[in-house]
Structure 1
């Protein structure tokens, strides 16, 4: 018994406010449970006091993780499961200094004043690639932030007058439907395909202003087929759902890039809607362009999924099944 008691340790963290305690604990204390399960220490939140107990090694690990999340809970900002997983990765790989940079690097603020930032190290690498390369490819599963982050950076650049136009495009080959069979004019036909791009735009730009910007050609949202024959100069171009392009379509859109322009191509090669015998232009581009200077390829994984935590588990389960 004496031998066991020597290894036992306890630490206490006094949280500054009730808001900080709620921010750290998460919904129904889910964060406390996650920290306990992943460190092996026992974490108990009593009011504004967090008690950590267990073996010295486990307590030190849990204590370091909670402290690494201090920039969030100290100000009453909700700590997410992704924040916790990123903190674990930073601790295990001795990158806690980089974690602070990640937490403090704000990309933009929404119209509601909420902070937008990369939430994982791979997302941050993706953001840096967009900012430093004329052409960036990002391949990753649903919910990993590949489209949202690109639109946020593009919209911010447009608002800062770094580019004259923001062009959002994607192939319209969802669920076997063709544009000609959908009701309405062109804009009404393509809206269902381009809704995710609009959703990200609305986070930064008032919904009332977007129609005016579109009428003036400052923001253009169009199916990929409408890019043919054009030169896209002084523009920030985002090609979404690129796994549904054919190699010919991919070559076509990449060669539209003009002077003073930047392009981001995103997609998930595991979710192609092309015919079974048709190669994905995104997969082919990765093979052909991987060694060209000025072109960046970023890959996000299930660990970068920032939607409902269940989505992360779904993506991981499908990856395991398909491999």
Structure 2
């Protein structure tokens, strides 16, 4: 690849077929990059010419080159991949932070898809999930806390590192009203567990997941159902942990058995407990922050990987909270 003058950067790509994939249908990938950086990208044969400010040209070159390398590796390029490359180019990882994964890209292989963390906080979180027996993921909605944890759990199950996957949530709003809902207990609590089902369905074929649930290799249950159990050789996720009471959190953490991994995820700003009832997530963070072999990972609005408006909404609420504090 070669670079022209400051007013025009030129990228030449050897494989025209891959270049077509890079540009996207109706050049929508190029349009996305142009909009983000305020540049103009023109295609002539197997060459892309980038017009704009020098810094914006340079960033466009980096993003386009990285995306083309993905295509050379047989991977696809979609909206999420473009978003990830922009985040990476904005915040490169220092050399001294590269650990057991070396300089290779972080990838989580599941039965249905390849999952790649999109932000530096997500990368650090995935590393922590593989390296620690107990890991906390704390931050706003849409930052991939639960999604990535479930993906790692599926990956560990596939490779025989755990024998089962156990996913749990506090059914806070159910409480005494469960008895008034129609159906058996499973039908009463399933609406609260639906985000966990959604994550698993993203990573496993339906028939495989159904068989594993029938054989109890995958369990999805409310937090209250964990009492009295010892969870051995399992990958265990507690989602929405900010809605666990202090006693429930202690109960859950002490279920950790031999050969197991445990992940606690939550958002401190979305506590639905009754007024005056302290959050077990906050207590665990305070009591365990200095305990060795327990990892705490934090996310902000910058790590939101849903619609861009979600990040803007979270930042607006955060600013309002700071103003009224």
Q: Give the shorter-chain TM-score range.
A: 0.7 to 0.9
2:284 equivalent to 1:313: no
Partner of residue 67 from structure 1, selected from 48, 65, 68: 65
Aligned position for 1:104: 105
Q: Distance in 2 between matches of 1:8 and 1:216?
A: 62
Instruction: Name the SS for the 1:264 alignment partner.
Output: strand
2:44 equivalent to 1:43: no
Aligned position for 1:235: 234
State the shift of 1:163 in Å: 1.2
Distance 1:101 1:51, change over 3 A: farther
Q: Give TM-score, length-normalised by structure 1.
A: 0.85
Distance 1:33 1:314, change over 3 A: same
State the shift of 1:128 in Å: 0.7
Which digits, 9 at most, give the CA deviation of each residue in 1:137-169, with x for residues without a partner? 000111110000001111121122211221111
Q: Give TM-score, length-normalised by structure 2.
A: 0.85
State the shift of 1:101 in Å: 7.0
Is the CA contact (8 Å cut-off) linking 1:69 and 1:87 kept in structure 2? no
Q: Which runs of 5+ in 1 are unaligned?
A: 1-6, 37-41
Deviates more, 1:21-30 or 1:267-276: 21-30
Aligned residue pairs, count? 307
Q: How does 1:219-230 map to 2 (within 5 A)?
A: 219-230=218-229
Partner of residue 10 from structure 1, selected from 8, 11, 29: 8
Q: Which runs of 5+ in 2 are unaligned?
A: none
Q: How does 1:271-310 map to 2 (within 5 A)?
A: 271-310=270-309
Q: Distance in 1 between matches of 2:262 and 2:320?
A: 33
Which digits, 9 at most, give the CA deviation of each residue in 1:202-249, with x for residues without a partner? 122221232322222211111000111111111111000001001111
Is the CA contact (8 Å cut-off) linking 2:167 and 2:219 kept in structure 1? yes
Deviates more, 1:100-109 or 1:276-285: 100-109
State the shift of 1:181 in Å: 2.5
Q: Distance in 2 between matches of 1:159 and 1:68?
A: 29
Instruction: Name the SS for the 2:220 alignment partner.
Output: strand
Instruction: Name the SS for the 1:71 alignment partner.
Output: helix
State the shift of 1:19 in Å: 1.7
Q: Distance in 2 between matches of 1:233 and 1:293?
A: 21
